[in-house]
Amino acid sequence: MSDLTNLTATAGGATRVADVENELNTLWTQIAEEDSKHPLLRATTLNLVLFTEDANSVTTLIGQLSETHPCRAIVIETGTAQDVQPDSLVAVPTLFCRPSLGAEVRKQVCCEEIVLRVGRDASDRVPGAVQGLLLSDLPAYIFWQGDVSISNVLLKSLGEVTDGWIVDSATFDESTGLTNLVWFLDTPHWHGSVYDLNWQRLLFWRGAVAQSFDSPQDRPALKTIRDVEVAHHDAPIQALLFVGWLASRLDWQLVPGNQPNVWTNNNGLMVRILSVAEGGPGLRSVNITAEPHVYSIDLADEDQFIHTTNGRARAFQLPEENTGTLIGAIIDTAGRDVVFEAALAEAAGLSDPDMTGVLSWKSGLVVAENAVAFAHLAARYFLLASQQAIKQHGLFTVALSGGSTPKALYSLLAQPPYRDQVEWTKVHVFWGDERNVPIDHPDSCQRMAHETLLDKVPIPPANIHGIATGTLSAEDAATRYAEEIRSFFKLQNDDLPVFDLILLGLGEDGHTASLFPHSPALSADDTQLFVANPVEKLNTTRLTLTAGVINNANTVMFLVSGASKAAILHVLLEEPPSPDDFPSQRIHPSHGTLLIVADRDAASKLQSAY
Ligand code: 6PG
């Protein structure tokens, strides 16, 4: 492998895109002059956006990739750059050149690397800066390592300006990582394709299985498979993807077996994933029993060959692989990989039994088969949003909803595993709306939340931002709460708060929070934040966040359950907007994610396939 650093030039750094291009041109000239005997060939085949805590760790990857796919690498340093002004963003370009192949030794610019150093308060400017640096006539991919989250605003906004997104599921959390990826792919605005290095690592294993059953005498055996055993070393997610692939192609309809990593179906098929100690990381063997044969595929360590033995031995040599070559292989096969996406959805269901009741993730609408899966879905989104927020800015601000639907969610959050996974000491709870009744009144949203959740989790009392209801007039209670919000979020002038998550119910009349049809709050000034809202049909005055505050959240999650909500959910999602008649239609987060978690009954009147 060539030494990338034998000719490298780095500029001091620029804060404007035009300056970056000028610095790159200067670097080209500088390198060309350093060795005028060899013409400089500029070859860039793609844009690659990478995230890293440490830009130096990326050089190896770029070197590997540039063997076959010279690229413009835009590297976003995710840690806050200490030596950069809080509100600024500095781009540091570097050129890596290496001797090109072939008789006449010519240098080839094999990689332009632009490291973006981001000040503490400048992260929201990253998508625009990246877009300005992309070479417009080349494909653009994001390479993301580690878990993804539905609330990752930066990733979502970059997803809108790139062609594809490359992950490595080997770096995911074993039980929830695949589900998070599936959910992320179905949040709105995501139009790119997703590729997985771990799936690419399975290419030869999938080929070996396909060829084992390819002959006319073996093909019928596919229908008589009784037992499958997949052994891996330190690659559980790769094994899950492999089983997910088999299950999706052969429509096995697997359900959890009687012990971990065992699945079965109603035809008595048994599927097991085993972890073995010997050999390198990855799949080690696959044994498929289909009377009268056992199709064995195993990786011999000494020669890195996959041997298949089902009466006719075959061998497949595994290529030398590294992150760069895997990314290159993915780029060469670009185009939506529906086989992968089907295997991924199956594998997510296998790895995350709580999610087995989930019927679909489509464009932000997630439909659960039953009340249990519905509550788990909502709890998982709550957990994910909290993890993302705490990782991004050290705390999680959530506005709770009232009504009866959220009770199942709150009760689940109050018990393991969610109770122990949420960092309650960093959670700040508000309410999206309330009735102006004392907190011990049966109708109080605050009372319901305390009884089902807040009195059962270790959240500091100071983190519970209650509304002074029952003693003040509705107007005074609303004004005081608006002040509480303004002070907590340190709002200036007409700023709106950015809640990390706002939970919403959906009334059968189309109201949400306490934004009722044709009620005064619909025309309130959003900067009032929280207002008293007389509701004639209820003969009462409610208290509610304004629609503008709700739309300014990072994630808004509707919880819609039961057949009684089927008609209004159809209106919300499939009828032309009439927001005064159906105020829930006003909810379109301006920069965040809209999620609608429903159960099968509530989704029963939707015309569009979900
Ligand atoms: C409230 C809620 C309200 C509720 C809907 C749906 O305080 O009542 O904020 O908007 O979410 O009326 O109520 P259910 O969940 O009981 O159907």
User: Cα(46) to centroid of ligand 1, in Å?
Assistant: 49
Ligand 1, atom 12: closest residue by C-alpha? 507
Which of the listed residues 374, 400, 401 should we mutate to test ligand 1's pocket, taking the one with most ligand atoms within 8 A of CB? 401
Cα–ligand 1 centroid distance for 525 (angstroms): 23
Residue 465 contacts residue 474 (beta carbons within 8 Å): no
The model's pLDDT over 424-477, given as tens digits with 9 standing for 90+, comes to 999 999 999 999 999 999 999 999 999 999 999 999 999 999 999 988 999 999
- Residue 299: pLDDT band (50, 70, 90) is confident
Give distance in angstroms: CA of 560 to centre of ligand 1: 10
- Cβ-Cβ contacts under 8 Å for 316 (sequence gap 6 or more): 204, 207, 208, 305, 306, 308
Judged against a pLDDT cut of 60, whether residue 8 lies above it is answered with no
- Report the atom number in ligand 1 closest to the C-alpha of 505: 11
Does the pLDDT at position 342 exceed 60? yes
pLDDT recorded at residue 181 = 85
Closest CA to 296 of 279, 283, 316, 313: 313
- CA 402 to centroid of ligand 1, rounded, Å: 5
pLDDT of residue 550: 98
Q: How far is the CA of 420 from the centre of ligand 1 (A)?
A: 27
- Residue 443 dihedral angles phi and psi, to the nearest 5°: -85, -5
Q: pLDDT class for 362, splitting at 50, 70, 90?
A: very low
Q: In testing the pocket of ligand 1, which one of 433, 537, 544 has its CB within 8 Å of the most ligand atoms?
A: 433
Q: Highest mean pLDDT: which of 85-89, 90-94, 240-244, 312-316? A: 240-244
- The span from the CA of 472 to the CA of 479, in Å, is 10
Above 50 in pLDDT, residue 5?
Answer: no
For residue 505, give the 3-state DSSP assignment.
Answer: coil
pLDDT computed for residue 276 by the predictor: 95
pLDDT of residue 359 exceeding 90: no
Q: Which residue has the tokens 């009439």?
A: 578
Span from the CA of 210 to the centroid of ligand 1 (angstroms): 52
Q: How far is the CA of 378 from the centre of ligand 1 (A)?
A: 16
Pick the residue whose CA is nearest to atom 13 on ligand 1: 403
- Of the residues 407, 435, 437, 511, which should be mutated to test ligand 1's pocket, given the most ligand atoms within 8 Å of the CB? 511
DSSP state of 353: G
Residue from 374, 400, 404, 405 whose mutation best tests the ligand 1 pocket (most atoms within 8 A of CB): 405
Residue closest via CA to ligand 1's atom 11 equals 505
pLDDT band at 107 (very low <50, low <70, confident <90, very high): low
| pLDDT of 1 strictly over 50 | no
User: Which residue's CA lies nearest to atom 2 of ligand 1?
Assistant: 402
Ligand 1 mean position to 445 CA, how many Å?
Answer: 9
- Is 215's pLDDT higher than 80? yes
Specify the DSSP class assigned to residue 512: B
Contact 466, 481 (CB under 8 A): no
Asked if the model's pLDDT at residue 100 lies above 80, the reply is: no
In sequence order, what are the beta bridge partners of 315? 307
Residue with token string 């997510």: 348
Task: Report how far ligand 1's centroid is from the alpha carbon of 546 (Å).
Answer: 16
Q: Which of 46-55, 409-418, 421-430 has the lowest mean pLDDT?
A: 46-55
| Model confidence pLDDT, tens digit, residues 241-297 | 999 999 999 999 898 888 889 999 989 999 999 999 988 899 999 999 997 788 898
Atom of ligand 1 nearest to the CA of 544: 9
Kindly compute the dihedral angle of the four CA atoms of residues 583, 586, 592, 598, in this order, to the nearest 10 degrees. Answer: 50
The pLDDT value given to residue 128: 86
Q: Three-state SS for 259?
A: coil
Lowest mean pLDDT among 21-35, 182-196, 219-233, 314-328: 182-196
Instruction: State residue 4's pLDDT score.
Output: 40
pLDDT at 55 over 60: yes
Distance 405 CA to ligand 1 centre (A): 7
- 3-state secondary structure at position 496: coil
For residue 375, is pLDDT > 60?
A: yes
Q: What is the pLDDT of residues 550-590, one digit of tens each?
A: 999 999 999 999 999 999 999 999 888 899 999 999 999 88
pLDDT for 7 equals: 55
What is the model's pLDDT at position 610? 59
Atom of ligand 1 nearest to the CA of 445: 7
The set of protein residues with a Cβ atom below 6 angstroms from ligand 1 is 401-405, 433, 445, 505-507, 511-513
b/e 62-92 (16+ beta carbons within 10 angstroms → b): bbbbbbebbbbbbbbbbeebeebeeeebbbb
Residue-level pLDDT at 180? 81
- CA–centroid distance, residue 484 to ligand 1 (Å): 23
Query: Looking at ligand 1, which residue's alpha carbon is closest to its atom 8?
Result: 403
Determine the straight-line distance between the first and last CA of the chain, rounded to whole angstroms.
48
pLDDT band at 108 (very low <50, low <70, confident <90, very high): low
For strands 164-168 and 71-77, give the pairing: unpaired
For the chain, give the mean pLDDT.
87
pTM: 0.70
State in Å: Cα 446 to ligand 1 middle.
Answer: 13
Q: Whose CA is nearest to atom 7 of ligand 1?
A: 402
Between 353 and 274, where is the model more confident? Answer: 274
Looking at per-residue pLDDT, the higher value among 490 and 300 belongs to: 490
pLDDT at 438: 96
Percent of the chain with pLDDT over 90: 51
